[in-house]
Amino acid sequence: MHRNILVEQIRKKKTYLCVGLDTDISKIPPHLKNSSNAIFEFNKAIIDATKDYCVSYKINTAFYEAMGAKGWDAMAQTVQYIPGTHFKIADAKRGDIGNTSSQYAKAFFETLQFDAVTIAPYMGEDSVRPFLEYENKWGIVLGLTSNKGANDFEMLSLQNSQERLYEKVLTEVSKWGNVNNLMFVTGATQASELENIRKIIPDHFLLVPGVGFQGGSLQEVSRYGLNGDCGLLVNASRAIIYAGKDEHFTTEATAIAKQYQAEMASYLK
């Protein structure tokens, strides 16, 4: 998906919500668990319930890979079912030597038809480059993550420099691509750093997980992260997809997604 189309959808729908389809079969409503294709049936219902209030879906591939071939089939069906108007993210956190990354890129961009893949950048440019060679496809590079372990490495100061490791990553990786094929993951629980991040990469889109169950503030993320083109995709997963526990789960999912959309619309004014 070209950047202009994504921005157009954000402005049209007045939302920058990304719904995370981190589907755990042990957590879906009981009446679906006996279905031969339970994961896809659940995802399909969530997509139908939320598509009017979001512009993107993010599939955390680990939940599907854990199920083997059946999980990959459910993931492929889900990607095909997501409307073409919505930005499709494979949250796969890939990144390896060049020829291996080329195969990962082929898997997610050609075979599965995602628009973007999350990438771990710590093996350097040749591990990221293959994802940036596809037209209208995106690499979403881990910048400053929302987990507690982010402090172990990402926040470390570099020797003989006041620059922190995550800042070095943002600065260097931004040179490998451009605002039309590179996004960065910046966790909502790190909202206090967003003002600084915007000084380094003012124009890039940011994928922001951590709102909802992880405690991130949508207001703070929006205050410091929005730019002229919006520049944000804020992900909510469990808060939406597991809002309901019974056969009426889609009603609750719709309600929560609508709440996010309404709040986002107020920040886009």
Q: pLDDT for 45-66, tens place per residue?
A: 999 999 999 999 999 999 999 9
User: Which residues make beta-bridge pairs with 56?
Assistant: 18, 87
Phi, psi at 31, each rounded to 5°? -70, -15
pLDDT tens figures, 169-197: 999 999 999 999 999 999 887 778 899 99
Task: Look up the pTM and report it.
Answer: 0.95
Alpha carbon distance 214, 190 (integer Å):
11
Using the predicted structure, report yes or no on whether residue 93 has a pLDDT greater than 80: yes
Can you tell me the mean pLDDT for 75-102?
A: 96
| Residue pointed to by tokens 């960065």 | 184
pLDDT band at 127 (very low <50, low <70, confident <90, very high): very high
Q: Are 101 and 94 in contact (CB under 8 A)?
A: yes
- Can you give the pLDDT at residue 151? 86
Strands annotated E in the chain:
17-20, 56-60, 87-94, 116-119, 138-144, 182-186, 205-208, 232-236
Can you tell me the mean pLDDT for 104-113?
A: 97
Using the predicted structure, report yes or no on whether residue 161 has a pLDDT greater than 90: no
Choosing among 3.30.465.10, 3.20.20.70, 3.40.50.720, 3.90.180.10, the CATH entry for 3-268 is: 3.20.20.70
Q: What type of residue is 221? A: V
Can you tell me the mean pLDDT for 71-78?
A: 97
Q: Mean pLDDT, the chain, as a whole number?
A: 94
Using the predicted structure, report yes or no on whether residue 107 has a pLDDT greater than 70: yes
Using the predicted structure, report yes or no on whether residue 256 has a pLDDT greater than 70: yes
3-state secondary structure of 208: strand
Enumerate the active-site residues: 93
Alpha carbon distance 239, 62 (integer Å):
19
Alpha carbon distance 175, 156 (integer Å):
22
- Can you give the pLDDT at residue 269? 78
Proportion of the chain above pLDDT 70, given as a percent: 99
Q: Are 249 and 29 in contact (CB under 8 A)?
A: yes
Using the predicted structure, report yes or no on whether residue 251 has a pLDDT greater than 70: yes
What are the extents of the domains in the chain? 3-268
Crossing angle between the packed helical segments 249-268 and 218-225, to the nearest 10 degrees: 40
